[in-house]
Homo-oligomer: A and B are copies of this chain.
Amino acid sequence: MSPAATFSALLRGLPPPRGRRLLVAAAARAHSTAGGSRARGGLPQVRIQGDEFWHMTRVLRLGINDRVELFDGAGGLVEGSIQKVDKGGSDVKLLEDARLIAPDGIQWHVYAAFGTLKGGRADWLVEKCTELGACSVTPLLTERCHTVAENRVDRLQRLVLAAVKQCQRIHGMLLNPPIQIADLQPVVSQSKLAFVASAESPPLLSTLPKSCNEESGLLIVGPEGDFTEEEVNVLKASGAVPVGLGPCRLRVETATISLLSALMLWSDAHRQETLKCR
C-alpha cells in the first residue's frame, strides 16, 4: 500500500523559484479527476488540514496567496495558491492540470533481515533507506531472524512517512509486509540486477555492470549472525550476486545503508551518463 494513501499535507521546503510544496493524498489527482470542490473561479480547490496545516501555517507561516506545489507521494504534482486560512484548515486553489512525474533511474528494492535489530537500529535502517531513495523496503524472514513485531511495522510506517516528508520525495517508499527467503527466490530469479551482501565476496563496485538498462534492482542483506550457508546458496542459485562489504565487519543496518548508498550513487551517475548520451 502506498504511503500516499495515508498522507495529509506536507510542506516540501522551498524549491526555488517555485515556492513551497505540499504533500496531499488527493490533491494532485483532484484536478485531472475533476475531484475536489469547485471554488468560485471554477477552479478545483483542496482543503489542507491536520499536522500539515499546522506546520504550514505555524512553522512556515504561509498565508493567503502564497504559492504551493501539491504532490501525492505517487508522482502526481500540481501547482496551487492558498485562498483561505481559517481555524480548521486552509483552501488551496489549483492553478494547473496535475502532472504525473515518472520515477527516474533504477528503482532499488531492499530486502533486509532487520526484525531482530535493537536500539532503534531497524528504525534508522528504514529511515535512511527512505532518505536515500529506495523504492521499497521489505523485512526479510530468515532462520536467524524469523519475526518482526507487528507494532514495529506500524512504527516503521510512520517513520517512512516522516522521512518522505523530510527528504521531499515525490514518490513515496513502500514498506512491504515481511517475506520468507523461499518467497524471495522467484523475485530474485526475475531480476537481472540482484545483489546479496556477503562478507569475503568481491567488492560491490567491482561487480557492477559497465552499462545497464534495467529499471529496477534488488539489494538483499542478511540478519545478525548472517544467512545460513543454505540460504545464501538458495539466493545465489536464483541469480543474486554476492557482494562484499569493504574492509570492516558491518552491522546489518550499516551494511544495508552502505550498499544502498553505493548503488544509488552508481545509478545516479549512470542515469546522468544516459541523459548526456541522449
Contact = CB atoms under 8 A, between A and B. Distances in A.
A160 to B, nearest CB: 13
Interface string A233-275: 0000000000010111111001001110110111011001100
Interface in A159-190: 166-169
Contacts of A264: 246-248, 258
A249 B131 CA distance: 7
The majority secondary structure among interface residues of chain A is helix
Please give the count of copies of this chain that the complex contains.
Answer: 2
A204 B269 contact: yes
Contact of A250 (B13, B132, B248): B132
Contacts of A168: 249
A112 to B, nearest CB: 15
Interface in A14-61: none
Contacts of A131: 248, 250-251, 254
A248 B133 contact: yes
A86 interface: no
B254 A128 contact: yes
Given A247-B105, A249-B168, A261-B258, A266 B133 contact: no
A217 interface: no
Contact of A249 (B167, B205, B261, B273): B167
Interface of A: 13, 104-105, 120, 124, 128, 131-133, 166-169, 202-206, 244, 246-251, 254, 257-259, 261-262, 264-266, 268-269, 272-273
Given A132-B254, A205-B262, A205-B265, 12 more contacts: A120-B120, A131-B250, A132-B248, A133-B247, A168-B249, A203-B268, A206-B272, A206-B273, A246-B261, A257-B258, A261-B262, A262-B266
